[in-house]
A and B are shown apart, each in its own frame.
Chain A
Amino acid sequence: MALLTVDELSVTFTARGRRDVTAVSGVSFDVPQGEVVGLVGESGCGKSVTSLALMGLLPRRGVRLGGRADFDGTDLLTLSPSRMRDLRGRQLAMIFQDPLSSLNPVVPIGVQVTEILARHRGMKGERARKEAASLLDRVGIPDPDRRLKEYPHQLSGGMRQRALIAMAVACAPRLLIADEPTTALDVTIQAQILELLRELVDQEGTALLMITHDLGVVAGLCDRVNVLYAGKVVEAAERRPLFSDPAHPYAHGLLGSIPRLDAPRGLPLHPIRGSINDTIAWADGCAFAPRCDHYTLECLEGTPALAEPAGLGQPGHLVRCVNPVLDSSDLHTPLLEAPVPVASAEGDTAAPSSGAPAGTPSDTTPDTGTTPATATDGEPGDAPGKDTPA
Chain B
Amino acid sequence: MGSPVSNTPNHPDDREGPETPGTPELSGPPAVPHQAEAPSPVGGDRARRASRKVDRIDRLAELTARRETTTGAGLWVEAFRRLRTSKMAIIGACIIAVFVVLAIIGPWIAPYSPTAQSWRGEVFPNRGLFVGPRGENWLGLDHLGRDVFSRLLVGARQTLLVGVVATLIGFTVGALIGGVSGAALVLGGRVGQRIDAVIMRFIDMMLALPSLLLAVSIAAVMGQSLTTVMIAVGVVQIPIFARLLRGAMLAQGGSDYVLAARALGVRRRRIVMAHVVPNSLSPVIVQATLALATAIIEAAALSFLGLGNPDAAQPEWGVMLAQAQRFFDQAPMLAVYPAVGIIITALGFTLLGEAMREALDPKLRS
A42 proximity list for chain B (CB < 8 A): 1
| Total residues of chain B contacting the partner, CB 8 A | 29
| Closest CB in chain A relative to B184 CB, distance in Å | 31
Per DSSP, chain A at the interface is loop
Interface presence of A271 (CB below 8 A):
yes
Taken together as a complex, chains A and B put the C-alpha atoms of A282 and B110 apart, in Å, by: 66
Residue of B32, B34, B64 most packed against chain A (CB within 10 A) = B34
| Contact residues of A between 268 and 293, Cβ < 8 Å to B | 268, 271-280, 284-285, 289-291, 293
The verdict on A274 contacting B50 (CB below 8 Å), with A280-B57, A280-B60, A289-B57 known, is no
Interface presence of B238 (CB below 8 A):
no
Q: Is the CB of A275 within 8 A of B2?
A: yes
| Closest CB in chain A relative to B7 CB, distance in Å | 8
Taken together as a complex, chains A and B put the C-alpha atoms of A272 and B2 apart, in Å, by: 11
Q: Is the CB of B4 within 8 A of A284?
A: no
A272 proximity list for chain B (CB < 8 A): 4
The verdict on A273 contacting B12 (CB below 8 Å), with A293-B35, A300-B50 known, is yes
The verdict on A278 contacting B12 (CB below 8 Å), with A297-B41, A297-B47, A297-B50 known, is yes
Q: Is the CB of A273 within 8 A of B11?
A: yes
Residue of B nearest to A300 (CB): B53
Q: Is the CB of A296 within 8 A of B34?
A: yes
Residue of A nearest to B35 (CB): A293
Interface presence of B33 (CB below 8 A):
yes
Q: Is the CB of B12 within 8 A of A291?
A: yes
Q: Is the CB of B39 within 8 A of A296?
A: yes
Interface presence of A380 (CB below 8 A):
no
Interface presence of B229 (CB below 8 A):
no
| Closest CB in chain B relative to A29 CB, distance in Å | 23
Residue of A nearest to B4 (CB): A271
B60 proximity list for chain A (CB < 8 A): 278-280, 290
Q: Is the CB of B61 within 8 A of A290?
A: yes
Provide the B215-236 mask, 1 if CB < 8 A to any CB of A, else 0: 0000000000000000000000
The one of A43, A271, A295, A301 in contact with B34, judged by C-beta atoms closer than 8 angstroms, is A295
The one of B34, B46, B54, B64 in contact with A278, judged by C-beta atoms closer than 8 angstroms, is B64
| Closest CB in chain B relative to A180 CB, distance in Å | 14
Residue of B7, B47, B60 most packed against chain A (CB within 10 A) = B60
Taken together as a complex, chains A and B put the C-alpha atoms of A265 and B46 apart, in Å, by: 44
Taken together as a complex, chains A and B put the C-alpha atoms of A294 and B36 apart, in Å, by: 10
Interface presence of A241 (CB below 8 A):
no
Interface presence of A108 (CB below 8 A):
no
Residue of B nearest to A296 (CB): B38
Provide the A243-260 mask, 1 if CB < 8 A to any CB of B, else 0: 000000000000000000
Taken together as a complex, chains A and B put the C-alpha atoms of A285 and B53 apart, in Å, by: 9
Interface presence of A44 (CB below 8 A):
yes
Taken together as a complex, chains A and B put the C-alpha atoms of A276 and B2 apart, in Å, by: 9
Taken together as a complex, chains A and B put the C-alpha atoms of A200 and B38 apart, in Å, by: 47
Residue of B nearest to A291 (CB): B12
Interface presence of B56 (CB below 8 A):
yes
| Closest CB in chain A relative to B39 CB, distance in Å | 5
| Total residues of chain A contacting the partner, CB 8 A | 27
Q: Is the CB of B3 within 8 A of A273?
A: yes
Taken together as a complex, chains A and B put the C-alpha atoms of A175 and B64 apart, in Å, by: 39
Interface presence of B69 (CB below 8 A):
no
Q: Is the CB of A294 within 8 A of B1?
A: no
Q: Is the CB of A284 within 8 A of B1?
A: no
Interface presence of B8 (CB below 8 A):
yes
Give the A-B pair count, Cβ closer than 8 A: 70
The one of B13, B47, B56 in contact with A280, judged by C-beta atoms closer than 8 angstroms, is B56
B5 proximity list for chain A (CB < 8 A): 271
B12 proximity list for chain A (CB < 8 A): 273-274, 278, 290-291
Residue of A nearest to B38 (CB): A296
A280 proximity list for chain B (CB < 8 A): 53, 56-57, 60
Taken together as a complex, chains A and B put the C-alpha atoms of A320 and B46 apart, in Å, by: 21
Interface presence of B126 (CB below 8 A):
no
B38 proximity list for chain A (CB < 8 A): 294-296, 323
Q: Is the CB of A273 within 8 A of B50?
A: no
| Contact residues of B between 1 and 25, Cβ < 8 Å to A | 1-8, 11-13
| Contact residues of A between 291 and 329, Cβ < 8 Å to B | 291, 293-297, 300-301, 323
B41 proximity list for chain A (CB < 8 A): 296-297
Q: Is the CB of B64 within 8 A of A277?
A: yes
B6 proximity list for chain A (CB < 8 A): 271, 273-274
Taken together as a complex, chains A and B put the C-alpha atoms of A278 and B12 apart, in Å, by: 8
Taken together as a complex, chains A and B put the C-alpha atoms of A290 and B60 apart, in Å, by: 10
A290 proximity list for chain B (CB < 8 A): 12, 33, 57, 60-61
| Closest CB in chain B relative to A114 CB, distance in Å | 33
Taken together as a complex, chains A and B put the C-alpha atoms of A289 and B61 apart, in Å, by: 12
Residue of B nearest to A268 (CB): B7
Residue of A nearest to B50 (CB): A297
A285 proximity list for chain B (CB < 8 A): 53
B7 proximity list for chain A (CB < 8 A): 268
Taken together as a complex, chains A and B put the C-alpha atoms of A42 and B3 apart, in Å, by: 12
| Closest CB in chain A relative to B283 CB, distance in Å | 25
A295 proximity list for chain B (CB < 8 A): 33-35, 38
Taken together as a complex, chains A and B put the C-alpha atoms of A292 and B42 apart, in Å, by: 19
| Closest CB in chain A relative to B42 CB, distance in Å | 8
Taken together as a complex, chains A and B put the C-alpha atoms of A275 and B8 apart, in Å, by: 14
The verdict on A274 contacting B3 (CB below 8 Å), with A284-B53, A289-B57, A300-B54 known, is yes
Taken together as a complex, chains A and B put the C-alpha atoms of A290 and B57 apart, in Å, by: 7
Residue of B nearest to A45 (CB): B1
B8 proximity list for chain A (CB < 8 A): 273
Taken together as a complex, chains A and B put the C-alpha atoms of A279 and B64 apart, in Å, by: 10
Please name 17 further chain A to chain B contacts, defined as beta carbons within 8 Å, in addition to the given A42-B1, A278-B3, A296-B38, sorted by A numbering.
Answer: A272-B4, A274-B11, A275-B3, A278-B64, A279-B60, A280-B57, A290-B33, A290-B57, A290-B61, A295-B38, A296-B34, A297-B34, A297-B41, A297-B46, A297-B54, A300-B50, A300-B53
Minimum-distance CB pairs A-B, first 3 = A271-B4, A297-B50, A273-B6
A-B contact pairs, 7 of them (CB 8 A): A271-B4, A271-B6, A273-B4, A275-B1, A275-B2, A294-B34, A295-B33
Give A contacts to B, CB under 8 Å: 42-44, 268, 271-280, 284-285, 289-291, 293-297, 300-301, 323
